[in-house]
Amino acid sequence: MTTKNEPLTGIQARIEELHNTIAEKEEQIKTRTRKLKNNIKEEVSPEKMIRKYPFEAAGASFLAGLILARTLRGCKKSTGKVEQVTLAPQQHFSTHPKTALSTIGLEVMRSVKDIGFSYLQRYLEKKIK
């Protein structure tokens, strides 16, 4: 004779088993994700990439600096004509942020260039020694 509670107990045991299986799979997924994250971090490390490809990194930083400076400064094409420009006080204040932005861009370009050349210098010193 079976009581009404026996099928219910079997279902509850199955539910607990499924919860345990889900918890195990979740831990496995978390572990795999951490390993993948660490592997990607090691592969795409900027420092490692620069050490592996120093000349390419120096060239890329130089080009990035040029592009950034040209973008921030604006592509000024000379037409050969000299025009007299008078600035009203309102226009002077509106161009001030652009000047500050181009100054910041030039400083960023110099910093990137310095970092690239310092990595290149360290790399060459290691190769020579």
In this predicted model, which residue has the larger pLDDT, 41 or 15?
15
**Overall average pLDDT of the 4-25 stretch:** 86
Domain ranges of the chain: 9-44, 46-73+96-129
**Overall average pLDDT of the 21-45 stretch:** 89
| Count of beta carbons in the 10 Å neighbourhood of residue 65 | 19
Task: Tell me the pLDDT tens digit for each residue of 74-113.
Answer: 755 544 554 554 544 444 444 455 677 777 777 887 888 8
Give the separation between CA 115 and CA 60, rounded to whole angstroms: 12
Task: Tell me the pLDDT tens digit for each residue of 35-46.
Answer: 998 888 877 777
Give the separation between CA 7 and CA 111, rounded to whole angstroms: 73
First-to-final CA distance of the chain: 88
The token pair at 129 is 């020694």
